[in-house]
Amino acid sequence: MNEDGSLRPAGPSTGLFSQEAYTQYEILEPGSEAFAITYLLESGRAGATEITNATRAGSKGTNISVFDPRTGQPVKFTYDLNESNNQYSIRATLPFAVPEGGIGRVLIYKTYTDARTYQVNGDNIVWVRSLSGYRLGVVLPKGYAFVSANVAAQMSTLPDGRLKLAFANPSGQANNLTIHAKKTTAAFTPSPYKDVFFDDIKTLYDLGAPETGKFNVEQIYSDPRKGATATLDVLNYLALSDLKVTDLDTAKPLTPVKSGKGMAVTLGVPITNDKQSAHLKVNGVGSDGYKLVNGELVFDRELHGLRNTVILPAGYEVSAVSQSATVGRTREGRAFVALINLNGENHYKVTIRARK
């Protein structure tokens, strides 16, 4: 803010995607003032040999463990105080340096104790925290029900009967969350809903000249399904030519092969436990649902997944978007439309119109 209380304008949006990291908070037993955190953190800086995660000021970190999501094996880390800012940080050593074109990942488990965040009043608990704009999940202690929660969220019951909220902020900004909950004798039945915000899939549509009807597709996602191969689900709803698949942990190409009615790739490390996932990038060229109508660019198709961003050709300005979205400019000056699907359904119809 300015000194007179007015807001300073933010710079133009240039980030094609937000919600890059997923964090889950499990509120522990009342009186402990503690909550367990699961945090999947990434670094795309080529040559990086470690990833750092700072403990928020005022929170004390304990029960820390760090794993390599590619293999599920523990990785070395330190937890030290930075005296310059009086803040503790986890410094996790990557199994190997981040390769050019790859992404380094670590899976962090930790417990924070913070009386300002977690308060008890008789049989009621209050959990209040500003959660920066990641994809998020918050789990109540077993035997507790929600009285209120002030952020719109998907709610589900876990297999052990605990209630969970899952949500994201479309703007990528902080969610100031306050949860009130109380003891209950209700026995909750596990619900079949999938946490759509845990899914890290993001798809980029880079539109070519509209008279060609073609666009480049880049999809990045993690696949936790157990096995030695990964099925390319994107081909179920996108017909792609010039198909390429990359293992983002190693930046090495993977060869797609026919698997039943679809295509799959053989993984460098088979997935055998719940701490593992494959981190894949799929590239290809699509043409369905993109055309020029009476001089107007029209991108009209069904999109899948949580995050989809469409970059317009140079010189085109957005005139209409049928779903809620943010707009911005690439560093080269091209307009883009970034959509966040907050609904439980994994697919939705979108129409984007633009003029030169």
Tens-digit pLDDT profile for residues 292-325: 999 999 999 999 999 999 999 999 999 999 999 9
Banded pLDDT at 96 (limits 50, 70, 90):
very high
pLDDT at 69: 97
Domain boundaries, position 50: 22-183
Q: How many domains does the chain have?
A: 2
- Distance between the two ends of the chain, CA-based, in angstroms? 36
- C-alpha–C-alpha distance, residues 38 and 53, integer Å: 12
Could you tell me if residue 255 is inside a domain? yes
Q: Which positions ≥6 away from 11 have C-beta within 8 Å?
A: none
Banded pLDDT at 20 (limits 50, 70, 90):
confident
Token digits for 158? 């876990």
pLDDT at 128: 97
Residues 176 and 209 in one domain: no
Residues 111 and 244 in one domain: no
List C-alpha distances in Å: 330 to 309, 310, 350.
11, 11, 21
Per-residue pLDDT tens digits for 288-298: 999 999 999 99
Q: What is the mean pLDDT of residues 43-52?
A: 95
211 SS3 class = helix
Token digits for 203? 């798809």
Could you tell me if residue 6 is inside a domain? no
Could you tell me if residue 16 is inside a domain? no
Could you tell me if residue 3 is inside a domain? no
pLDDT at 86: 74
Q: Which 3-state string (H, E, C) describes 243-271? A: EEEEECCCCEEECCEEECCEEEEEEEEEE
pLDDT at 223: 96
Residues 283 and 331 in one domain: yes
Residues 257 and 321 in one domain: yes
Would the pLDDT of 57 be above 80? no
Token digits for 120? 């008890």
- C-alpha–C-alpha distance, residues 177 and 169, integer Å: 11
Residues 213 and 341 in one domain: yes
Per-residue pLDDT tens digits for 199-226: 899 999 999 999 999 999 999 999 999 9
Banded pLDDT at 129 (limits 50, 70, 90):
very high
Q: Which of 49, 59, 30, 53 has its CA nearest to residue 40? A: 53
Percent of the chain with pLDDT over 70: 100
What is the domain-level CATH number for residue 39?
2.60.40.1730
Could you tell me if residue 17 is inside a domain? no
Beta strand 87-93 with 22-27: parallel, antiparallel or unpaired?
A: unpaired
Locate tokens 């789990």: which residue? 139
> What is the pTM assigned to this prediction?
0.92
Q: Which of 156, 183, 210 is at the close of a domain?
A: 183
Sign of the four-CA dihedral 244, 248, 254, 256 = negative
pLDDT at 246: 98
Could you tell me if residue 150 is inside a domain? yes
Q: Which 3-state string (H, E, C) describes 282-300? A: EEEEECCCEEEECCEEEEE
Percent of the chain with pLDDT over 90: 83
Residues 106 and 245 in one domain: no
- C-alpha–C-alpha distance, residues 242 and 90, integer Å: 41
Would the pLDDT of 133 be above 80? no
- C-alpha–C-alpha distance, residues 37 and 34, integer Å: 10
Residues 159 and 231 in one domain: no
pLDDT at 193: 80
pLDDT at 148: 97
Q: Please, what is the average pLDDT of the chain?
A: 94
Sheet holding 77-82, edge to edge: 50-54, 87-93, 77-82
210 SS3 class = helix
Would the pLDDT of 172 be above 90? no
Cα-to-chain-centroid distance, residue 156: 19
Residues 26 and 168 in one domain: yes
Per-residue pLDDT tens digits for 176-186: 999 999 999 99
Q: What is the mean pLDDT of residues 46-65?
A: 89
